[in-house]
Amino acid sequence: MSYLLLALLASVYDDTPLTVNPDPYWQPGTYQEYLADQPKFQSLQVRQITGETRGSDFLVLMEENMSDSLDSDIVNQWLADIASEGNTVSLAEITYAEPVEIRTWLQGLHAEGLKGVVFVGDIPAPWSCIEDNTTRSNETFPSDYFYMDLDGDWQDNWIGYPSQGVSGQDDIYDGWSGDLDPEIYTARILTSVILLGNEYELINNYLERLHQWRIEGDPDPHALCYVDDDWAGWGNSYKSAMEYLYDDVELVNQYSATNGTDYRNNRLPSGYTWISPFVHSSPTSHAWSPGPSTTSGHIWTDQPPSRFYNLFACSNCRFTSNWCMGCTYTFGTASGIAAVGSTKSGSMLKFAYFYSPLGNGSSFGEAYQAWWNHIAQGGLSPHEQYWHLGMVILGDPTVMPSMHMLGIEEQPAVPSISFSANPAAGPVTVFTEGEFTVVDMAGRTVAFGQGTETLTNLGTGVYMVRSVENGVSAKLCVIR
């Protein structure tokens, strides 16, 4: 890496105030506390639920026995929706294995075509520790990038922080070298930290919400770039990056305008499709200047109608913390779809490398991987490590925020679809008015027709039926 490039990189990170938790009494949960709340590690065992794991583009990976607690129709519809967008998808469950064993398994799947994974439930989190000599601070945190960078060298050389000088291993990564760019994208769907909700009901509701969003989208999408005082001077550049995705982006960055009262009373209820708050935070709150703070409890109670969040907010996506705010935004409301943010101090920077792919039709996960590819080219500088190694997506990474931006004219009613039985033990009769196609979980068209027809050659499996009438389409999952 050239000295000029290093200087340019340093200037971006040196000039931008780090997002931090302003509460001097707050202590993050430790790795030892995290382990105490989790099952004991077991050897990795995989239970295949749907599809073929090897050779799939996208893997839904659930904690052991979780699929038995979820609504199978809702899960199957979700898988069919992902497959209908051109992915080969599989669903599997795993035992509570050590992260290094899971990563090794993912390496093999990537060699056979795996592009992305979503972890559903309490899949073990890798942890890292890092020191920042500039700010004389250090942190220990969950680091899911371990599961994205499948061929980099993640080292555990020290007990505690390296500066303490105690060599050995404590199962917390503290060194990074080699090829550190991402091979796949990952995300989490995790609701156990939302303590007032039922874990499985929240996931069922979330998956149903995904299906409806994929059908209906967001009419007249508009976004909010809400920049608190420490970053007010960069507000226009942040807004410009968001405009790669949305034409309508409202910037609020005046010192007198950004505060907790305005954010909660005027911004959250306003129906923005996407909200990007830039604010010092904790895992469970935003600390506005001047206050008052906005908390996860407020989000749970107020139920903001927004879909997407880019949380430039210290540790706001620390999914190991009860009432994680990123989880509450995404899974604890009736509208949330996905959030991106960090489990530690820092956040995303160089936003154009994320929003530009989104605006061109990439999925959330694909755009996130493209952003990481830019960040990790030539390795990770100490600044990049400290700012970004806690980054994580919360939500389904296959969603494409720009998929519905094709105009907002009123559309005729969607065609109806029904079946003689669902699930069906034998032949399936499709009842619809328009032309229809039947697609299997691998995205292959296996049947087509028009109006009412009986299908006699469908094998056992999950299928998506798409009907088109007068240029308007609808789709519905059928189980055979």
Which tens digit of pLDDT belongs to each residue from 195-247? 999 999 999 999 999 999 999 999 889 999 999 999 999 999 999 999 999 99
Q: What is the pLDDT of residues 82-127, one digit of tens each?
A: 999 989 999 999 999 999 999 999 999 999 999 999 999 999 999 9
Between 355 and 422, residue with greater pLDDT: 355
Q: What is the pLDDT of residues 63-89, one digit of tens each?
A: 999 999 999 999 999 999 999 998 999
Same topology, domains 202-360 and 417-479? Answer is no
- Domain limits, the chain: 202-360, 417-479
202-360, CATH topology level:
Rossmann fold (3.40.50)
| The model scores a pTM over 0.85 | no
Structure tokens at 455: 């299908």
Averaged pLDDT score across all residues of the chain: 90
In angstroms, the CA 172 to CA 128 distance is 5
Please report which confidence band the pLDDT of residue 413 belongs to, taking 50, 70 and 90 as the band edges: low
Q: What's the confidence (pLDDT) of residue 8?
A: 40
Q: Judge whether residue 411 has pLDDT over 50.
A: no
Q: What is the pLDDT of residues 255-308, one digit of tens each?
A: 999 999 999 999 999 999 999 999 999 999 999 999 999 999 999 999 999 999
Structure tokens at 351: 């936003």
Class of domain 417-479: mainly beta
